[in-house]
Structure formats: C-alpha cells, structure tokens
Amino acid sequence: MKFIRRIAWIAVGFTYFLVALGGTVRTTDSGLSCPDWPLCYGQAYAAIDYHTFLEQFHRYVAAIVSILVITLAISALLWARKERHVLVPALIAPVLLVIQIVLGGLTVLWKLPPNIITAHLGTALAIFAMIITIAVMAAKPAPAREHPAKTRKFARLAVTNALLVYGLMLSGSYVVGSGASLACTGWPLCTAPQWAIQYHLADINVFHRLTATFVGLVLIWTLISAWRRRNVAPAQAWVALAAAILFIAQSIVGGLIVLLNKPGFVAGLHLALATAVWGSLVILAALAANQLRAAPQEQSIDTMEEAQNSAPKKEVGPVRQTISNYVDLMKPHVTVLLLGTTAAAMAIADRGLPSPGLLFATLLGGALAAGSANCINCYIDRDIDQIMGRTQRRSLPSGKVQPTQALIFGIVLGVGAFVILTAFVNLLSAALACSAILFYVFVYTLGLKRTSAQNIVIGGAAGAVPVLVGWAAVTNNLSLPAIWLFAIIFYWTPPHFWALSLLIQKDYEKARIPMLPVVMGEG
C-alpha cells in the first residue's frame, strides 16, 4: 500500500499540472496549433512556435498521466484487491482516461467545440478526484475520536461542496467556450455592452458569478464545520482552510480577467487555482471518509448491514444475472416514464419529431441520469427497503449487490449522463439533468423523505425536470411553455403517489416513513 500511495501522490501532482497546462493551452489559443491528432503535423515532435510547443507539451504530460493511471490500476489489482476503497477508484480512473483520450482527440478534430471542451475538462477533473481518493484512502486511518454519525454528516457536506465546485468549474468552462468571458466589463458587478446583452452572453457570465457566490457561501459553512472539529480532525480543518483561501484567490484572479481584459496567463491561473480548490475539497471528503473506516460501529447499526457482514460471500452469478441486478437498481419501470415525458417535451419544442441522433443522445443521457438518482436512492434507503414488503426483493436488500458497488455504479451513471448530454446535446440539458439527480438525492431522499409529510410534494419536482431537459435539448433555452410542462408534471405527481401510498400504507407505517396517508389517514 505504501508503493500505491506514493505513486498516487506523484500522479496527483502530474494530473494537477496537466489540468492547469490544459487551461493555459486553451486561454492562449494554442489548442489548434497542431491540426492533427495524436501526432502534430504528422510528427512526434514539431515545435514550430510557442503555441505548437505548448500543445505538444500538454499531450506528452497527458501520456505520463496515462501511464501513472494504468500503473495504479495494475498495482491495486495486484496488492490491494481486498481494499475496496482503493481498488474501486483505481479501476474507475482508467475508464475515465479512455473517455478523456477520445474527448481530447475530438477537441482537435472537431475544431474546439465548446461542449466537447467542457466535457473534456469535466472528465479530467473526475480523474483527478479518483487519483486523490486513492492517495488518501491508501493511508491507514487515525483512531476515531468522534461519533461516526458526526463524521458521516461532515463527509456529506464536504462531498456536496466538492460537487458544487465541480459544477462551478464546468460553468466557467462554458463561459469561456461561449465567448462570454468579457461580456461583463465590470467586476464584481456586471456592466454589459449591447452586444453581450443581445446574444445573452451577459446572462451566462452573471450566472457563473452568482453560482460562484453560492458556492463560496457553502464553502464558508464547510470551513466553520471543519474548524469546530479541529480537535478531533485537525488535518481536515487545515485542508478546509486551504480550500477557502484558494477560493478567495481564484475569485480575485477571476476579477482580474475582466479588469485586465483577459490576458491569457491570468485566465490560466484562474483555472489552476480553481482546480486546487477542487482538489482540496476532494482531499477533505476523502479524509472524512477514511476517518469513517476507523470509526467504532454504532450501537444502532441497521440489520441489513449486520446480516451482510456476518453472511458468507455469495458466489458470483452469471453475467446476465449480474446485469439484471444492476439494471434493477436503476428502476427501469420509473425511468421509462421519465423518458416518455422527455421525448414528449422534445416533440412539442420541435413542433415535430427531433432528429434521431439528438433524440437518442438525449434519451440515453436522461436514462443514465434517472438511473443514477434511483441507484443512489436505493443505496441510501437500503435499510427501509429491507423492512417494506414491496422492496425486499430489490438487489440491495436481497444481498445481490453490495452497497458500495451500488453507490459507485450510481455515481458513474451520473458522470456518464453529464458527459453524454454535454458532448452530444448541450450544457443546459446536462446541468438540468445533474440538478435533478442532486435534488432527488439530497433534498428528497436525505432531507424530506423520512422527516416531512410533504416529502413527495416538494421532492416530486425532481420527476418534473425531464421535460425541461427535453425542451432544453431542442431549444438550448427554457421558455414559458417549458415551465408550464414542468408545472403539469409537478402538480400531477403528489396525487399519483398518494394513491400508490394508500395501497402500501402499512409498509410505510412499518418503515416509519411519514407519507401523507400515514400521517393524516385515508380521509
């Protein structure tokens, strides 16, 4: 494990340098200095000028990172096969690497399309996160000094903050790709010229700034929470402080991009600092997760995990059965309904049938997004699923799939949905799909389902988002008809689900889920 940890930290350094270098290539307009791929002018080395050298250097660093990622995967298979917290990210990283290589080639061959560039950055950041996770989780955790519930709560906050920064960085990439970097000539307030208003570029820029403000507030909350725990987790407190300082620095540099009229080196520094914030928050989340490995078992451990820990390992079934178990986690009977509303919204927006390619890409991305939300929901609700008769035969309660595998599968589906929608549809549809995943997981499943009788009223909004995804896929905007479609699905959801909950009311009572028929009765 010591060897794996050392290789992982070396890979962290090279990957960070690669992302920062890629930002410099983009901001200095060096991306097309080599018109072919993977060679440059048909040669392994053709440093004609500064821009060509920069692009080639970027490719060579990418090759080094690729070797390190493959080395980590092989090392994990050889020496850490039983350490799932190391093995899983080590195996995910090469998959992301293949996607990244394909996107990198398309970026050059398709002449820098903004959506592909954004997906390219998003995949690079995901690889960076996987490598950081390996480096942190390969270390032996320190003895637990607080209740596991508190550690778990902080870990969720750190993960949420990291995902928000991830989204912020992708929105920043879209700002650059859409030409909206200088749509606001003032900072921090926006003074927009007429051309920026006319083409809605100022709106894109302002949205990025507002998102940054929100993420900054969440980061302050994370820092306060970490600092209160500094006696039991000092490393996490200092990492959170570093993330906050880096965030302030990158915000200032972001202002300088506007005030100095976007010099290339400043824009590159902006991305480098933002990547450091992302890396810091991933380290923070990984440290908290590693702390949970050393945490004492809670007295109120749920019966399902108890049974899984004591039961002997089941033999791996046929491939077909394994696929069926994972498809079951995606709740295909629910996903099909969501895809139906997506396709209907696309037809309404297009006033006819959209192109087959667009329809296929949108429905594929939508299916992965819905499957991701449902899969993570199954992971979170695995304790109550074992209690309710309707859900006892699902893959997790029946022990057909391990909880960690289900969670990883759900996250991979979400990343896949974002990459497909961004690359082949548009960023707006990808952002809407991912927002639905986050809303369903954090607001409904973790926040409302077990605490409020209004859970399905508010949480049902996630099920209405697919019509927005379909509309945005065709028009790349959200107009009033899309909002009306959203409202129709939103208002239809509660009575539909309450009718279902009347049929299984006793199950909800047994699981202590405060559905409205349970709280108010059938009347």
Side chain identity at 283, as an amino acid letter? I
- 330/258 same-domain check: no
Residues 493-516: pLDDT tens digits? 777 666 666 666 676 677 777 776
Residue 201 reports pLDDT greater than 60: yes
Q: Are 365 and 276 in the same domain?
A: no
Domain termination residue (choose one: 86, 109, 139): 139
pLDDT of amino acid 504: 63
| DSSP state at residue 443 | I
Residue 215 belongs to some domain of the structure:
yes
Does 306 reside within a domain? no
Domain match, 129 and 153 both: no
How many Å apart are CA 104 and CA 279, to the nearest integer?
A: 21
Does residue 296 register a pLDDT over 90? no
Number of folded domains that form the chain: 3
How far is the C-alpha of 341 from the C-alpha of 362, rounded, in Å? 12
pLDDT tens figures, 36-65: 777 787 777 766 777 788 888 888 999 999
Query: Does residue 303 register a pLDDT over 60?
Result: no
Share in percent of the chain as helix, strand, coil (round to 5) = 75, 0, 25
Q: Where are the alpha helices (DSSP H) in 260-355?
A: 264-294, 303-310, 319-329, 332-350
pLDDT, tens digit (0-9, with 9 covering 90-100), for 146-167: 888 889 899 999 999 999 999 9
Cα gap 101→117, rounded to integer Å: 12
Do residues 445 and 489 both lie within one domain? yes
Task: Kindly give, in sequence order, each residue whose CB lies less than 8 Å from that of residue 476, ignoring residues fewer than 6 positions away.
Answer: 426, 428
Question: Residue 215: helix, strand or coil by DSSP?
Answer: helix
Are 350 and 367 members of one domain? yes
CA distance 79 to 116: 36
Do residues 346 and 394 both lie within one domain? yes
Burial 368-385 (b: 16+ CB within 10 A, else e): bbbbbbbbbbbbbbbebb
Residue 304 falls inside a structural domain: no
pLDDT of residue 404: 87
Domain boundary among 249, 274, 298: 298
pLDDT at 309 over 70: no
Residue 192: pLDDT over 50: yes
**Residue 411 neighbours by CB distance under 10 Å:** 18
Domain boundary among 81, 112, 139: 139
Is residue 305 situated within a structural domain?
A: no
Residue 354 · residue 474 · CB < 8 Å: yes
The confidence score (pLDDT) of residue 505 equals: 67
Q: How does pLDDT run across 230-287, given as a tens digit for each residue? A: 889 999 999 999 999 999 999 999 888 888 876 667 888 899 999 999 999 999 999 9
Are 82 and 187 in a shared domain?
Answer: no
CA pair distance 220, 198, nearest whole angstrom: 36
Work out the mean pLDDT of the chain and round it to a whole number: 84
Cα–Cα distances (Å) from 57 to 20, 21, 34, 50, 61, in that order, read 12, 9, 11, 10, 6
The secondary structure element, H or E, covering residue 20 is helix 2-27
Q: What is the pLDDT of residue 435?
A: 92
Q: Are residues 220 and 242 in the same domain?
A: yes
pLDDT at 443 (0 to 100): 87
Residue 456 near residue 494 (C-beta atoms within 8 A): yes
40: which DSSP letter?
B
Instruction: Look at residue 516 in the predicted model and tell me its pLDDT.
Output: 60
414 and 501 share one domain: yes
Cα–Cα nearest to 308, from 402, 408, 410, 409: 402
- Domain-embedded: residue 229: yes
Look up residue 479 and give its amino acid.
Answer: S
Mean pLDDT of 76-85: 90
- What was the pLDDT predicted at 195? 61
- Separation CA 46–CA 255 (nearest Å): 36
How many whole angstroms separate alpha carbon 501 and alpha carbon 175?
45
Q: Are 215 and 246 in contact (CB under 8 A)?
A: no
- Please check whether residue 105 lies inside any domain of the structure: yes
Residues 155, 135 share a domain: no
Is pLDDT of 337 > 80?
yes
CATH number at residue 371: 1.10.357.140
Report d(CA 227, CA 229) in Å as an integer: 5
When pLDDT is cut at 50, 70 and 90, the band that residue 519 belongs to is: low
Residue 300 has pLDDT above 60, yes or no: no
Residue 313: is its pLDDT beyond 60?
no
Residue linked to tokens 């970490």: 226
pLDDT at 312: 45
What pLDDT sits at residue 304?
40
- 148-178 as b/e: b if 16+ CB within 10 A: beebbebbebbbbbbbbbbbbbbbbbbbbbb
In a domain, 479, yes or no: yes
Confidence grade of residue 301 (pLDDT, cut at 50, 70, 90): very low
- For the ranges 32-46, 127-141, 407-421, the lowest mean pLDDT is seen at 32-46
As a whole number, mean pLDDT of residues 370-397 equals: 86
> What percent of the chain is predicted at pLDDT more than 70?
88
Q: How confident is the model at residue 314 (pLDDT cuts 50, 70, 90)?
A: very low
Pick the closest to residue 102 from 57, 156, 37 (CA basis): 37
What pLDDT, on the 0 to 100 scale, is given for residue 12? 96
Quick one: DSSP state of residue 401? S
pLDDT at residue 306 greater than cutoff 60 = no
CA separation for the pair 461, 141 (Å, rounded): 40
Query: Which amino acid, residue 175?
Result: V
Taking 60 as the threshold, does the pLDDT of residue 315 lie above it?
A: no
Contact 148, 131 (CB under 8 A): no
Whether residues 468 and 333 share a domain: the answer is yes
Residue 72 lies in a domain: yes
Average pLDDT value for residue range 353-372: 91
Average pLDDT over residues 187-204: 72
Q: What are phi and psi of 40, to 5 degrees?
A: -125, 115
Alpha carbon 59 to its chain's center: 25
Q: Does 97 lie in the same domain as 171? A: no
Domain that holds residue 407: 314-520
